[in-house]
Amino acid sequence: MKKLTDFKTPIFLDYASTTPTDPLVLKSMQPILENYYANTMSIHNLGQEAKDILERAREGFAKLLKVNSGEIVFTSCASESNNFVIKGIAYAYKNQGKHIIVSSIEHPCILQSAKWLESKGYKVDYLSVDENGIINLEELKNLINDETVLVSIMHVNNEVGVIEPIEKVGEIIKNIKADRLNRKVQTPLLFHSDASQSFGRVNLNVNKVGCDLLTLSSHKIYGPKGAGLVYIKKGVKIAPLIHGGGQEFGFRSGTINTPAIFGFWKAAELAIKRQKQDFDRALKLKTKLIKTIQSKIKNFRLNGDINSQVPQIISLRFDFIEGESLVYLLDMNNICVSSASACASLSLSPSHVLMAMGLKHEQAHGTIRVSIGRFTKKEEIEYFLKVIPDIIEKLRNISPFK
């Protein structure tokens, strides 16, 4: 067995920010990189062969999601997908309604897109959450009005791992749509969910959820970076985000990254195949981690309710310390974690997710996110548990917060 002191290379406990590409996915991509390099828009044989690979991936995702292949639009990442949805839907239906609703704990790409729309004259409401990060369904019902065209609620939060009740959201929207129809209100009401952190971790049935739009990301599921998608239900209007050569049904122009999309598809198939195995393994590691920290470190809390979270994302709060300092000292011990989401890590402001859950500034600043994944070893968790008590003690000894 590897000794705890033998870890000379970084221990990666930041899987919520990104994942390493699975070797099986890399192997599947190699012949695509070598042989299918032509532009999918070219009419010669090499171009059409590359297009066939692209369409195989599209049909593969349609099968996984149980939707039609013409409802799958590939993008470069989840941030692009979410910008596309929020802005594209708002612009497509601006003459019918200029009100959208997003949760207060969405990824920054959703929240900043919504803020941008506000600057253009749109009305945006930010749905509140409880102390566990669960959205307020009654508030959602009250916020939806006859001008509301879009509701966007993420499936799993990237900072605390909370699983949102998106099926209940879908049911609420379905009932409101029926009421609008009875009252002859013509404004459409669409439901989008960012499922970047949920696909391959928890069950996801697009038809059961009842969403009109859905976002997925390759690099969150052990696929290559540079690929994402949006499911757009047939009949939904959306304004293109990128104009040009007309790729992706005219919604997203630009030369297609065929190898990355192919790898994305293979990663998705593998994620579904391994979902229970990965979930059960992560749950065992998370349970061990939390129980050990509880026994070794005082003034510790798990942010959120463990029973409503995915096991891969763990939000740990330590009183009387500063989370950024803890991240740096762990890094000096070859352990990679984050103090918030990777996309917001350059900000010195407290996490908007934790603040929305009711934490105080000093509590939010005393939080780190540990996220585990497919390749996390038991010995790596043991090493983390060995070094963190001493680091916490050192930080508390010099803390001005005591």
Nearest to 236 by CA among 213, 263, 262, 259: 213
Alpha helices in 15-127 (DSSP H): 23-35, 45-65, 78-92, 108-119
β-pairing, 123-127 with 148-152? unpaired
3-state secondary structure 158-174: CCCCEECCHHHHHHHHH
Alpha carbon separation from 175 to 36, 170, 180, 234, 235 (Å, rounded)? 47, 9, 9, 20, 19
Q: How many CB atoms lie within 10 A of CB 69?
A: 15
Q: Using alpha carbons only, give the angle 89, 95, 99 rounded to the nearest 5 degrees.
A: 60
What is the per-residue burial (b if ≥16 Cβ within 10 Å, else e) of 156-192? bbbbbbbbbebeebbebbeebbeebeeeebeebbbbb
Name beta bridge partners: 232: 213
The yes-or-no answer on residue 343 being catalytic is yes
Name beta bridge partners: 150: 100, 190
Q: Which residues are catalytic?
A: 343
